[in-house]
Amino acid sequence: MLAGETPAVHMTAPAFVYVLGSVSGADRRTYVGWSVDIDQRLVTHNAGLGARSTRGRLWVLLYAERYPTRREAMSREVFLKRDRRFRAALAKLL
């Protein structure tokens, strides 16, 4: 939360759901997450400071959606994590 913001204002800030992709030889992987700043989040993942499952790989942004609130973005993230067919189709773009 930024200085001077109330919790209610912070929770209603726009948020993004994103899908990252990585290739290592024949191994293609995707990662689904959410963030208020996709560019900074991608830098964090590529620096090895993101989620444990993303460490040690080079990631590229494959897909993103914008939502008016964090709650909506988090809900969509859960759905996309379970949508294997969608993620497999995105992995083919790598």
27-55 per-position pLDDT tens digit = 899 999 999 999 999 999 999 998 888 88
62-72 per-position pLDDT tens digit = 999 999 999 99
Domain chopping of the chain, boundaries: 14-91
Take residue 34 and report the two structure tokens written for it. Answer: 């959410």
Residue 60 has pLDDT above 80, yes or no: yes
pTM of the model: 0.83
For 14-91, CATH gives: 3.40.1440
